[in-house]
Chains A and B, each alone.
Chain A
Amino acid sequence: MENGERIKREAPKRQNPDRGFANMFGQPVGGDTNGSSSTSDNVWSENVDRGVKLGYKVIEDQILQGQRFAEKLGTGSYSAGVMNGDVQDLAKNIQKYSEDSIQFYSKIIDSVTSEMSGMGSKDFMSGNGMNQGVQGLMESFTRVFSNGSVGETGANTSRTQDANGINVACSVSSTRPVEINVNVQSADGTLIIDRLYEHDIDKPPITGVTLERDSNSRLKLNVDISDEQPAGHYSGVIYDPVDKNHCGTLSITIAD
C-alpha cells in the first residue's frame, strides 16, 4: 500500500455456481476401500442423478398406491378398511339414511311440482315469484343425516353438494340422530355462522358450529352437538363478513 501497489485477488478457480447434489456433502474418499477405482466427476454425477430419479419414481409410486387404496376405502380420516366393525356399520347406516332422505325429499318435490303443473295456471307457474319459490325450495333440500348412536365417537364426515353447485363437507359429532339442512348462496370468501336458535327460547342455542374452507377452498361445516343440547329444531343465518350480508341458512334438527 505504501508504494501505491494495488492489492489484487487471485482469479477464482470456479467460474459458475455449483448447484449439484453430488457436491453437497463433499466428495467421498476411497481410503478405506482398498484402492477402489476412482470415480470420475461425470460418472459420479450420473449415478447421483439416476439414484435421485429412481428414488422419486419409487416414492411417487408408493404415494399413488396409497391414494388409490384410500379412494377405494372412501374419503375421510377414518378409513373403513382399518376401523372396527362398529364404525363400518356406522358408515353404512349414514349412507343408508342419506339415500333414504334423498328419496324422501325427491318424492316431496315431485309431488309439489306435479300438483302445480296439474293446475295449469300460467300465472301460478311463472308469476309472483312462485316458480322461484319452488326452485328455492328444491335448492334448499341439501341434507346430511348422521346417526351418532355408536358410543363415544359419533364423529362422521360426509360431503354433499348444494343445489347451487357448492360443495359442502359436513363433519358431525353427536350421540343422537341429527338432520342438517344447508343452503349456501355464495361460493367465495370467508363465511360465518352465528348461533342456531330454537323457537323455544328456554332452550340454549347451538354454538358448536363452524364453517371453514379447507386447503382446496372447499367449504367444510363442523357440527358438534353436546349431549346436554335439548332435542328440537334449531336454525341460523350464514353471513359473509366482507359484504356484511347474509348468504345462506343452516338448520339442524336433533332427535330425542
Chain B
Amino acid sequence: MYEAATSSLIPEMLKEYGAITQTELAKYLPDREPKRFLYDILADYPQRSGKMMRPSLCIATARAFGASLEDALATAVSIELLHNALLIHDDIEDESDERRGKPTLHKIHGVPLAINAGDTLSLLSLLPLITNTETLGSKLSTRILEETIRMALETAEGQAMELGWRRENCVDLNDEDYLVMVLKKTCWLATIFPLRIGALIGSRDTADLESLIRFGFFLGAAFQIQDDLLNLVGDERYGKELNGDIQEGKRTLMLLHLMENASDEQRELLYQLLDTPREQRSVAQIQWVRRLMDEYGSIDYAREIAHGMAGAAMHEYKMIFSNLPPSRDKDFIEGLVTWVFERT
C-alpha cells in the first residue's frame, strides 16, 4: 500500500470547515411546508456526511490569499448546495442505487419528487451569492456570479458529454476525450471553481485565476480517476455500490484502456454488453469485465495516470502558492494532492 504522506491535517480541516459550512448551510434550507414532498427531501443529501472537500477548499484558498473565513463562507455554502443539487440529478441520470451509504433520493421518493427537489436545491444555491453583496460588495459579488455561471455551464457540458456517450454507445473514445470530460464534469465544480473563487475573494480579484485552472484540473483529475478506481477496488466505506460504474456503462479510463487492448472478440462482446440496457446486464457479465480489466492491466494503467496528474498538480501548486506566506490553509491545499490517494 502507499505510505501515508498526509498527516491528520486534512481530515481535521475537512471536519472543521465542513461543520462550519453545514451550520451555515442549514440557514438556507426553508423550514416550511411542503416538508414531506420537498424540503425534507432536499435537506437529505446535505445532511448525509459528505467529504465537504469543495467548500473546505474554497475557504482554505480564500484564507491562504488573505481573506477571513466569513468572507468565503456564503460562497462555500453555495458550492455545497449546488453540489448536492447536482448529485440528486446525477443519481437519476446514472440510475444509481446508493449515495453516501444510503439509498439514493429517487429510490426513496421516486424520480419526479427527486427531480423537483434537485431543481429547488440548485435555485437555493444562488441565495448565499446574493448575501455576498453585503460582505464583499457588488463588484466582487458579480464576479463570483460570473464564475458561478461559467462553472455551471462547464459542468453541464461535461455531464452532457458523458450521458451522450452512453446514449450513443460511443466506444471509439481516447484518453484525451476522457480528460476533457473530467475537466468539465468534475474538475470545474470540485476543484477549479472553489480554488478560483477562494483566490478571487482573498485577493479581491487581483490574483491570476488562469494558473488555478491548471492546478485545479490536475488535482480534480487525480481525484476523479482515483474515485473511479475505488469503484472497482474500494471497500464498504466507499459509499457507492462496487463495480457500479461498469454496471452503468460509465466511460472510465479503465474501460477505455480495456476497449483499446482487448481482443477483437472480447471488444465485440464488450460493445454488445454496453449496448444492452443497464438492468439486463448480469452480475456475471459485470464480473467478466472486471476480470478483463485486471488481465489487461487497465487498473494499474489508470493508477499511473492518476499519479501523473497528482505530480503535475504538485508542480502547479508550487507555482501558485509558493509566494504566499506559510499557513495551515496552504498546508491543507497541498495535502489534498496526496490525500486523494489515501481516502477510501
A and B interact physically = yes
- Chain B proximity mask over A40-64: 1 for CB below 8 Å, otherwise 0: 0000100111111011111100110
A78 within 8 A of B: yes
Among B70-78, B100-108, B209-217, the stretch that binds chain A is B209-217
B180 touching A51, Cβ below 8 Å: no
A25 touching B305, Cβ below 8 Å: no
B311 within 8 A of A: yes
Chain A interface bracket (under 10, 10 to 19, 20 to 34, 35 or more): 35 or more
B310 touching A25, Cβ below 8 Å: yes
What is the distance, in angstroms, from B233's C-beta to the closest C-beta of chain A?
5
Which residues of A have CB within 8 Å of B310?
A: 24-25
B239 within 8 A of A: no
Among A9-17, A29-37, A92-100, A161-169, the stretch that binds chain B is A29-37
Task: Report the Cα distance A57→B301, complex, angstroms.
Answer: 19
Interface residue from B175, B179, B304 paired with A22 (Cβ < 8 Å): B304
Scan residues 1-27 of chain B and give those whose CB is less than 8 A from a CB of chain A: 1-3, 5
B312 touching A52, Cβ below 8 Å: yes
A28 touching B2, Cβ below 8 Å: yes
Interface residue from A37, A51, A54, A152 paired with B297 (Cβ < 8 Å): A37
Which residues of B have CB within 8 Å of A55?
A: 179, 217-218, 221, 308-309, 312
Which residues of A have CB within 8 Å of B146?
A: 77-79, 82-83
Task: Report the Cα distance A24→B308, complex, angstroms.
Answer: 9
Which residues of A have CB within 8 Å of B150?
A: 82
Task: Report the Cα distance A152→B3, complex, angstroms.
Answer: 55
A127 within 8 A of B: no
Which residues of A have CB within 8 Å of B205?
A: 77
A39 within 8 A of B: yes
Task: Report the Cα distance A28→B226, complex, angstroms.
Answer: 12
Interface residue from A48, A59, A153, A215 paired with B139 (Cβ < 8 Å): A153
A56 touching B183, Cβ below 8 Å: no
Task: Report the Cα distance A27→B146, complex, angstroms.
Answer: 42
Closest B residue to A56 using CB positions: B312
B131 within 8 A of A: no
Which residues of A have CB within 8 Å of B299?
A: 30, 33, 36
Interface residue from A26, A33, A62, A82 paired with B3 (Cβ < 8 Å): A26
A63 touching B139, Cβ below 8 Å: no
Task: Report the Cα distance A63→B208, complex, angstroms.
Answer: 13
Task: Report the Cα distance A82→B307, complex, angstroms.
Answer: 37
Task: Report the Cα distance A35→B294, complex, angstroms.
Answer: 7
Which residues of A have CB within 8 Å of B5?
A: 25
Which residues of B have CB within 8 Å of A30?
A: 299-300
B311 touching A59, Cβ below 8 Å: no
B176 touching A63, Cβ below 8 Å: no
Task: Report the Cα distance A118→B5, complex, angstroms.
Answer: 83
Which residues of A have CB within 8 Å of B297?
A: 36-37, 39
Task: Report the Cα distance A77→B305, complex, angstroms.
Answer: 35
B295 within 8 A of A: yes
Known: A24-B314, A36-B297, A153-B142. A57 touches B304 (CB 8 A): no
Task: Report the Cα distance A99→B327, complex, angstroms.
Answer: 50
B138 within 8 A of A: yes
What is the distance, in angstroms, from A169's C-beta to the closest C-beta of chain B?
14
Scan residues 182-203 of chain B and give those whose CB is less than 8 A from a CB of chain A: 183
Scan residues 71-88 of chain A and give those whose CB is less than 8 A from a CB of chain B: 77-79, 82-83
Closest B residue to A87 using CB positions: B142
Task: Report the Cα distance A39→B179, complex, angstroms.
Answer: 22
B300 touching A39, Cβ below 8 Å: yes
A48 touching B217, Cβ below 8 Å: no
Known: A37-B295, A47-B304. A58 touches B138 (CB 8 A): no
Which residues of B have CB within 8 Å of A28?
A: 2, 300, 303-304, 307
Which residues of B have CB within 8 Å of A29?
A: 1
Task: Report the Cα distance A47→B296, complex, angstroms.
Answer: 14
What is the distance, in angstroms, from A88's C-beta to the closest C-beta of chain B?
14
- Chain B proximity mask over A221-246: 1 for CB below 8 Å, otherwise 0: 00000000000000000000000000
Closest B residue to A60 using CB positions: B214
Interface residue from B175, B210, B341 paired with A51 (Cβ < 8 Å): B175
A124 within 8 A of B: no
Task: Report the Cα distance A188→B272, complex, angstroms.
Answer: 69
Which residues of A have CB within 8 Å of B301?
A: 39, 47
Task: Report the Cα distance A220→B53, complex, angstroms.
Answer: 38
Known: A58-B179, A82-B149. A48 touches B311 (CB 8 A): yes
Please list the 5 inter-chain residue pairs (A to B) with the smallest Cβ-Cβ separation, ordered nearest first.
A21-B311, A51-B305, A48-B308, A51-B308, A47-B304
Q: What would 19 A/B residue contacts be, using CB atoms closer than 8 Å? A: A22-B304, A24-B314, A25-B341, A28-B304, A33-B233, A36-B300, A37-B296, A44-B304, A48-B308, A51-B175, A51-B304, A51-B309, A52-B309, A55-B218, A56-B214, A62-B183, A62-B213, A78-B142, A82-B150
Q: A25-B338, A83-B146 are in contact. List 16 more A-B contacts (CB 8 A).
A: A24-B311, A28-B2, A29-B1, A33-B299, A36-B300, A38-B300, A39-B297, A49-B308, A50-B308, A51-B175, A51-B309, A52-B309, A52-B311, A58-B183, A62-B213, A66-B210
